[in-house]
Structure formats: structure tokens, C-alpha cells
Amino acid sequence: MTPYELNAVVKTQRIRLMDVALLGPFMVYAASLIPEEHGAARAALAAGGVLTALYNWQNYQRVRTALGASAL
């Protein structure tokens, strides 16, 4: 892997971690602010936040394992 490719992977991994630590939890929090009368929207936003965090965490771990933890 070239240094350019490794740099691109590292940047992508940082974005994944931001999705896990910031975007997913923010979506769940935002869902809690939606009035209960809009239950479907609340559920969709909360589920989207949880799934975003889980999906990106899983992919972060997969890439980290494939490259070795020392490369990231």
C-alpha cells in the first residue's frame, strides 16, 4: 500500500470514528426531541443513528484488523 493510499484509509477511518462517536449519538438524541405524536419519525431517526454507529464501528474494526492496528 502506498503512503497516499494509507493516508486515504486513515482519513476514512477517522470519518468512521466520527460517525460512531458523534453522528450516531446525535441522531439518537435528535430523535428524543421529536414529539411523541411523530413516533415513526422518532423511531426511524433513532434506528438510523444506532445502525450508523454499529455499521461504521464494524467497518472500522474490519479495516483495522486487515491493516494491523499499528498502521492506523
3-state helix, strand, coil in the chain (%, to 5): 90, 0, 10
Q: Give the number of domains in the chain.
A: 1
Q: Which domain holds residue 67?
A: 7-71
Q: pLDDT digits over 10-50, tens only?
A: 899 999 999 999 999 999 999 999 999 999 999 999 999 99
Residue 61 maps to a domain: yes
Question: Among 10, 11, 1, which Cα is nearest to 64's?
Answer: 10
Residue 43 maps to a domain: yes
Residue 26 maps to a domain: yes
Model confidence, pTM: 0.86
Residue 2 maps to a domain: no
pLDDT band, very low/low/confident/very high, at 68 (cuts 50, 70, 90): confident
